[in-house]
Chains A and B, each alone.
Chain A
Amino acid sequence: MNITTLVFILLSVMSVGSAIMMISSKSPVHSVLWLIVVFFAISGHYILLNAQFLAIVNIIVYAGAIMVLFLFVVMLMNLNAETEPIKNYRLQLVGIISGGALLLVIVSAVMKIDTEQLVEMKVGDAGLIKVLGMNLFKNYILPFEISSVLFLSAMIGAVVIGKKDDEVVNKPEN
């Protein structure tokens, strides 16, 4: 077992473990924190795969921006373990079983591949910022520009939905 494999296993255990913790912890704040751990682990994977740019972006965007936003909302709403709605046990079990079954089905199908395809670890220029930048601004200029529309609409959404203008009326049933 070389060091790469060891790191891989370590990161994997970390990400899976904290993911499980994320969905199982009672307090939403803990969940957010565990999720941040997952993201860090995944960033670790990226580094292992020599995708430096993504590793950084992942931490900045996800762990930094998005999760902070989450945390912020959770705090704002003052959610904690006591206010957390709990599903009944049986439904949880059904959920876990069906999710597990899905995993089982897909994994057992994927495992049928005979050929062993390797992943380039630690080396390679595909994930380097230069290559990515060239590619992004040469070939992917259109989606890059178009995603501005996405942000525009998200912005409008925040305005339309977030702006408080009327009090709630419980409209009669139609």
Chain B
Amino acid sequence: MNNIIKLVWLIPVLPLIGFLINGLGRKALSKTLSGYIGSAVVLGSFVLSFLVFLQVKNGASATVHFFNFIDLSTFKIAFDFKIDQLSTLFLLIITGVGFLIHVYSTAYMHDEEGMNFAKYFAYLNLFVFSMLLLVMGGNFVIMFIGWEGVGLCSYLLIGYWYRNTNYTDAANKAFIMNRIGDLGFLLALFWLISKLGTVQYDDIFTTASLAKLSAKDITGITLLLFVGATGKSAQIPLFTWLPDAMAGPTPVSALIHAATMVTAGIYMIARSNALFSLAHQTQTIISIVGLATALLAASIAIKQNDIKKVLAYSTVSQLGFMFVALGTGNYVAAVFHVLTHAFFKALMFLGSGSVIHAMGGEQDIRKMGGLHKHMKITSITFLIGCLAISGIPGFSGFFSKDEILAGAYGHSTLLYSITLFAALLTAFYMFRLYIITFTGKFRGTHDQEHHLHESPKAMTIPLIILGILSVIGGYVGVPEVLGGHHELAAYLSPVVKSAEHHLSHNTEFMLMGLSTILVVISISFAWARFRNYSIEGEAKGLGSLLENKWYVDEIYQKIILNPLKSISAFFNNIIESKLIDGAVNGVGKMINYGSRQLRWLQSGQVGGYVLLMVIGMLILFFIQLFL
């Protein structure tokens, strides 16, 4: 045990080393070498993580102290790593999926020139490093370091093709929206510090210190933390950056914007479950926001035509599900869904990457179709992903989603039914995507058709592995009702204490059955609708509303950005130059004016001078003798 724990520092440091090698030596390294290095370090981390996992799965946990980051005698922030079941699970996801995506990238990014290629891997490694810091941090500050770090890497990677202004716009948007969330996180952090004087998980999540917090404190802190989570995990109102973030290379979307970074919010709330369980109002808000996001994103996804956009909105929607789970206190379900989602969403993103690769960069599904013939592995693995996300029994998504639904049902029937509806939409749009892309006739140009080919091994192997994982990933959490033991729940139990739902087995069966049947119906509907897809005209009414993403971006532009700009312009043009500078210069002008006026007193005539002197005397005499 101890030996491995002593080595945990290597887990983040390895990717950091990879980053430094790739970053500093990007001119010297060949593409192959930097690809190897980039992947190898992550693999190394994965191996270590796995070793750690072997240790902690028996219930052990540890806080590893390195040095004091900040030490004021009254207040300390330690540089600590917290190694427990939750963090280890995330370690595995990050390094595991991360490794696969690194491998995939070596092939996907092959067209980039050498320096940029190395830069790409450097960024990717830096991302892994930050994400590892985020989950391993032993206190909120270290988590925050990772938290902002992943935001930065996301920014860098979205803007990877920096010549395109739209892409860099998207990158800025992502960073800024994340920062808004970060502010919430920070404020929560300050609140905690001012109340408890510490940021250490081990000190905060004890009954004794939680008791020190008033109800108002708890609500406030959890709400602010949740604001942080909405930023990172793309929930209403801060979700719009995620679809735009698809500007980055596809593997990046897979890793950052599907599997890992966006789940940071869930991780954080799961990590603080002790706190959130005490805040019922916050929980309600979380579930409402989650649900609304799930619905909204799902509805938008129906009408999107960019393959990655659909996946992006689906991610937002799935994250919404996870928040519903968090809101209902069902932390294990949320984490479970993170796990399965990481598999199938990464799979689908990589699959879409494979498609895009084959299509020579084309992302519009309307110009695809019938790709199944040309790229079987991609198609099949993508289908597995779709099945998994739709919650077809047997696939991983089924188990996790079902758990969320069960939790929602335990909470309220209304919540359950809306969540279910969102799940049905998921199935619908995913299959819409699949059907339009992979079945039917090819609708692209001849050139494209000619070049269609299955992707190289470095891409397909990760697809296959993820495909397998998307199937079997769910079996770590088979619920009791299906004869399982829910190993995940047991594994996480030292850290995460979910709310208990006492649903009878019958009810659970009934729910599963209902959702399965409805999902199948939904899929069939999609099949019926898009089997013979041809390019549609302008959508109208609701359709156009959906196609334009409910005009959320435009609304933000109207109610936030434009006023901000006008205020800034007002500050700049009126207050700064007229009022403040005007006042300062005005004093100068006044003096100048006074100077010009006072000069007339100096008339040059003795009589005038004497007269003024006499008047001066008069005033002085008057003051002295009569006042």
Task: List chain A positions with a Cβ less than 8 A from chain B.
Answer: 87, 91, 94-95, 98-99, 101-102, 105-106, 109
- Contact across chains for B618 and A101 when beta carbons are under 8 A apart: yes
B514 an interface residue at 8 Å Cβ cutoff?
no
Q: How far is the CA of A56 from the CA of B157 in the complex (A)?
A: 112
Q: How far is the CA of A54 from the CA of B532 in the complex (A)?
A: 136
- Contact across chains for B625 and A105 when beta carbons are under 8 A apart: yes
- Contact across chains for B611 and A106 when beta carbons are under 8 A apart: no
Contacts of B614 in A (CB 8 A): 95, 98-99, 102
- Contact across chains for B607 and A98 when beta carbons are under 8 A apart: no
- Contact across chains for A98 and B618 when beta carbons are under 8 A apart: yes
Q: How far is the CA of A95 from the CA of B606 in the complex (A)?
A: 12
Q: How far is the CA of A5 from the CA of B617 in the complex (A)?
A: 33
Contacts of A101 in B (CB 8 A): 618
Out of A91, A94, A102, name the residue touching B621 (CB < 8 Å). Answer: A102
The B interface, classified by DSSP as helix, strand, loop or mixed, is helix
- Contact across chains for A106 and B607 when beta carbons are under 8 A apart: no
Contacts of A109 in B (CB 8 A): 621, 625-626
B580 an interface residue at 8 Å Cβ cutoff?
no
Residue of A whose beta carbon sits closest to that of B622 = A105
Contacts of B617 in A (CB 8 A): 102
Interface string of B607-626 (1 = CB under 8 A from A): 10001001101100110011
Contacts of B625 in A (CB 8 A): 105-106, 109
Contacts of B618 in A (CB 8 A): 98, 101-102, 105
Contacts of A106 in B (CB 8 A): 621, 625
Q: How far is the CA of A87 from the CA of B610 in the complex (A)?
A: 14
Q: List 19 A-B contacts (CB under 8 A).
A: A91-B611, A94-B611, A95-B607, A95-B611, A98-B611, A98-B615, A99-B614, A101-B618, A102-B614, A102-B621, A105-B618, A105-B621, A105-B625, A105-B626, A106-B621, A106-B625, A109-B621, A109-B625, A109-B626
Chain B CB count within 10 A is highest, among A91, A98, A109, for: A98
Task: List chain B positions with a Cβ less than 8 A from chain A.
Answer: 607, 611, 614-615, 617-618, 621-622, 625-626
Q: How many whole Å from A106's CB to the nearest CB in chain B?
A: 6
| Chain A to chain B: the 8 pairs with minimum beta-carbon distance, closest first | A109-B625, A105-B621, A98-B614, A102-B618, A98-B615, A101-B618, A105-B622, A102-B614
Residue of A whose beta carbon sits closest to that of B615 = A98
Q: How many whole Å from B621's CB to the nearest CB in chain A?
A: 5
Q: How many whole Å from A154's CB to the nearest CB in chain B?
A: 22
Given contacts A98-B614, A105-B621, A109-B621, 13 further A-B contacts (CB under 8 A): A91-B607, A95-B611, A95-B614, A98-B615, A101-B618, A102-B614, A102-B617, A102-B618, A105-B618, A105-B622, A106-B621, A109-B625, A109-B626
- Contact across chains for B607 and A87 when beta carbons are under 8 A apart: yes
Q: How many whole Å from B593's CB to the nearest CB in chain A?
A: 25
Q: How far is the CA of A57 from the CA of B295 in the complex (A)?
A: 119
Q: How many whole Å from B624's CB to the nearest CB in chain A?
A: 9
Q: How many whole Å from A5's CB to the nearest CB in chain B?
A: 29
Q: How many whole Å from B417's CB to the nearest CB in chain A?
A: 97
Contacts of A91 in B (CB 8 A): 607, 611
Residue of B whose beta carbon sits closest to that of A94 = B611
Contacts of A105 in B (CB 8 A): 618, 621-622, 625-626
Q: How far is the CA of A108 from the CA of B607 in the complex (A)?
A: 26
Q: How many whole Å from B610's CB to the nearest CB in chain A?
A: 8
Q: How many whole Å from A92's CB to the nearest CB in chain B?
A: 9
Q: How far is the CA of A109 from the CA of B617 in the complex (A)?
A: 14
Q: How far is the CA of A105 from the CA of B619 in the complex (A)?
A: 10
Contacts of A87 in B (CB 8 A): 607
Q: How many whole Å from B626's CB to the nearest CB in chain A?
A: 8
Q: How many whole Å from B143's CB to the nearest CB in chain A?
A: 77
Q: How far is the CA of A141 from the CA of B513 in the complex (A)?
A: 133
Q: How far is the CA of A91 from the CA of B607 in the complex (A)?
A: 9
Contacts of B607 in A (CB 8 A): 87, 91, 95
Q: How far is the CA of A101 from the CA of B621 in the complex (A)?
A: 11
Contacts of B611 in A (CB 8 A): 91, 94-95, 98
Q: How far is the CA of A128 from the CA of B511 in the complex (A)?
A: 137
Q: How far is the CA of A105 from the CA of B616 in the complex (A)?
A: 13
Q: How far is the CA of A152 from the CA of B617 in the complex (A)?
A: 34
Q: How many whole Å from B30's CB to the nearest CB in chain A?
A: 81
Residue of B whose beta carbon sits closest to that of A91 = B607
Q: How many whole Å from A86's CB to the nearest CB in chain B?
A: 12
Q: How far is the CA of A91 from the CA of B617 in the complex (A)?
A: 18
Contacts of B621 in A (CB 8 A): 102, 105-106, 109
Contacts of A95 in B (CB 8 A): 607, 611, 614
Residue of A whose beta carbon sits closest to that of B624 = A109
Q: How far is the CA of A101 from the CA of B616 in the complex (A)?
A: 12
Q: How far is the CA of A57 from the CA of B625 in the complex (A)?
A: 36
Q: How many whole Å from B528's CB to the nearest CB in chain A?
A: 102
Contacts of B626 in A (CB 8 A): 105, 109
Q: How many whole Å from B618's CB to the nearest CB in chain A?
A: 5
Q: How far is the CA of A95 from the CA of B615 in the complex (A)?
A: 10
Q: How far is the CA of A101 from the CA of B617 in the complex (A)?
A: 10
Q: How many whole Å from A101's CB to the nearest CB in chain B?
A: 6
Q: How far is the CA of A109 from the CA of B618 in the complex (A)?
A: 13
Residue of B whose beta carbon sits closest to that of A87 = B607
Q: How many whole Å from A113's CB to the nearest CB in chain B?
A: 12
Q: How far is the CA of A23 from the CA of B621 in the complex (A)?
A: 25
